[in-house]
Amino acid sequence: MKLTAYHRAKSLADARRLLKELGPTAMPLAGASSHSFVKNDDEKIGVDIADIGFEGVECKNGHFVVGANTRIADLQAFHAPGWVLDRVALRFVSQPLRNMTTIGGNISRVFPWNDFPVALLALNATMTISGEAKTSHLASVFFDGQPSRLFQPGDLLTEISVPEIGEGSGFGYHKESLVNMDFSHLTIAAWIRREGRTIRDARVAVGAGVPLPCRLSALEAELVGKKMRRGGHRRRRGSASGRCFLERGSRIQQ
């Protein structure tokens, strides 16, 4: 990709105006850290959105509202009860790239190895796109294809709402790669809610080994109603993963 012109937007309205006026060759630049992976000769006009706001994390009514321009390093540094994205951030590439990359950039254009789409699917997050009006999309819809299909010219992702991990719930994220900096071979995130020792609700998502991240609905259904036992996940791991196979079209069947 070759940048032929560069503009820095001063506000959301300014960014939306520039993106609309410049047309399909215009491209928002958040951290711009993924540009080196796009090995083609496409000419693009960069619209830098670093100064338009939408940074930081706020707690609101049982949710964390994350500005799309929040750097991964700031997700890593943020700590609050029920907040788990710091664990995902810590596995993200390297400190310089955590300082550059924004969560909005990481999820607006999904490469197979991206860390956050998988976590946000398991957490049932909601993404807000600001256009003529604001539209919100659950992660299961947002990532059911490249998110670009949901954007009209000039639209930008502005917020991600992540439910707090409440009492009786838990979250885990695993990334399989040689080192953090390497491309992932597999990423998996799981969220469960239990009552006593019984699993009442579960969401499991995988990425990297598939073209687009996706939920494992059959595995989720299998987990619900099961009793939790110490070490039980290790016993189940073989049988569940053994029955997963990839189908063309990015879906995983159990």
Partner 1 sequence: MNIQFTLNGKLRTAEVEANTKLADLLRELGCASVKIGCNEGACGSCAVNVDGRLINSCLTYAGQVNGRTVETVEAIGSLDHPHPIQDALVEEGAIQCGYCMPGVILAAKALFDKNPSPTEEELAVALDGQLCRCTGYQKIESALRKLASEARS
Cα–Cα distance, 245 to 254 (Å, whole number):
7
- Distance CA(12)–CA(156), nearest Å, equals 8
> Which residue of 96, 145, 170, 232 would you call a contact of partner 1, by CB under 8 A?
96
**Residue at 100: amino acid letter:** M
Residues 170-209 vs partner 1: string with x where CB under 8 A?
----------xx----------------------------
Tokens of 201: 């609700």
Q: Does 67 bind partner 1 (CB under 8 A)?
A: no
Task: Provide the minimum distance between the beta carbon of 150 and partner 1 in the complex, in angstroms, as a whole number.
Answer: 27
Does residue 251 touch partner 1 according to CB under 8 A?
no
Determine the Cα–Cα distance for residues 136 and 133; give it in Å rounded to an integer: 10
Determine, following the binding rule CB under 8 A, whether residue 109 of this chain makes contact with partner 1: no
What is the distance between the terminal CA atoms of the chain, rounded to a whole angstrom?
38
Does the protein bind partner 1 through residue 14 (CB under 8 A)? Answer: no
At residue 148, the 3 state secondary structure works out as helix
Residue of 12, 17, 48, 254 that binds partner 1 (CB under 8 A)? 48
Does position 4 interact with partner 1 (CB under 8 A)? The reply is: yes
Asked if 33 is part of the footprint of partner 1 (rule: CB under 8 A), the reply reads yes
The number of residues in the chain equals 254
Integer CA distances (angstroms), 238 to 5, 77, 232, 233, in order: 52, 35, 11, 9
Q: How far is the CB of 91 from partner 1 (least distance, A)?
A: 10
Strands, sheet with 198-207, edge to edge from the N-terminal-most edge strand: 169-176, 186-195, 198-207, 214-215
Interacting residues with partner 1 (CB under 8 A): 2-6, 8, 29, 32-33, 35-37, 45-46, 48, 50, 71, 73, 90, 93-97, 99-100, 180-181
